[in-house]
Structure 1
Amino acid sequence: MYRKRETERDRLRERIVELLRAYSVEAQHVGHAFAARHGLHPTDLQALIAVMHAEGAGDPLTPGRLGEALGLSSGATTAAIDRLERAGHLRRTRESADRRVIHLRYGEPGKALALEFFGPLGARTDRVMAQFSDADLGTVERFLSGMYDSIAAHHQAVRDRPAG
């Protein structure tokens, strides 16, 4: 049963949750628009994002780790990698002493397409952030980090729990 929010804090918390939900939905719409414009399956877009984040963190994904991150079988992971590689969005590299280990890297043509599409969003984001002090941004960062940790832990719990 829905309970009425009584205090200003309750109303603020409710509004923040609603804004997070709306932001998440809008971000998905933007991602789907990019995928549709470039003939990508939604899973391909998720794979690209995972590869980009891992590479940015200095820990490039292997195909196995990508499949694990996306919850895909090895066959489905290979099919997604093959599609993305053919389209120039990512490339396979052998960087370790063990030449059997393949790392996935964001492809230069894919980077160019992403920059063209998402560059204006980056500029809009920069304009919004410029309105806040470093201290404000630090508070937002701590808040969003906590919210991310919360949803990631919930995702892990529901993914690991058998259905039914």
Structure 2
Amino acid sequence: MTVDLKDLGPGDIDWLVDQHAWLYARDEGFDDSFPVLVRQILEGFARDHDPACEKSFIAWDGDQRLGSIFCVREDDETAKLRLFLLVPEARGRGLGRTLLEACMGFARDKGYRRMALWTHQSHRAACALYEKSGWRLVRSEPKVSFGTEVVEQGYEVDL
């Protein structure tokens, strides 16, 4: 697998919304409110992001998209990791680590002192990757989100 990391481009928003909708409905039981949120986040990023301190990474193998990760500004010292996704056929090959390292490296290079993210406890592989990369769990609480019971978690890492 030869992977190229590209900026958000034509067709990426629709693809990412579709992949999030399908995977999260299949794996987590999320309802149709989730892809609406994903589209809002992506369209907001496309419209308003500051390329000097925010970046998208879309993983491609030839003409096939494999996943994404986004680095967005939370405040002057904190970057937020968003929309980390890998299609099932790309998992277990080190691409998640590649995307995470690219995102963290970008944040570090732009002068952020820390990163934060929000996820769910059920994303065991991603949570294990975060912990191996120095992230620490700072919040965990049961909730009902997107029509299903979840345990929301917050992670942070110093850069």
TM-score normalised per structure 2: 0.26
TM-score, structure 1 as length reference = 0.25
**Which structure shows the bigger proportion of residues in strand conformation?**
2
Larger relative contact order (CA 8 Å, sep ≥ 6):
2
The structure with more helix, counted as a fraction of residues: 1
Say which one has the larger Rg.
Answer: 1
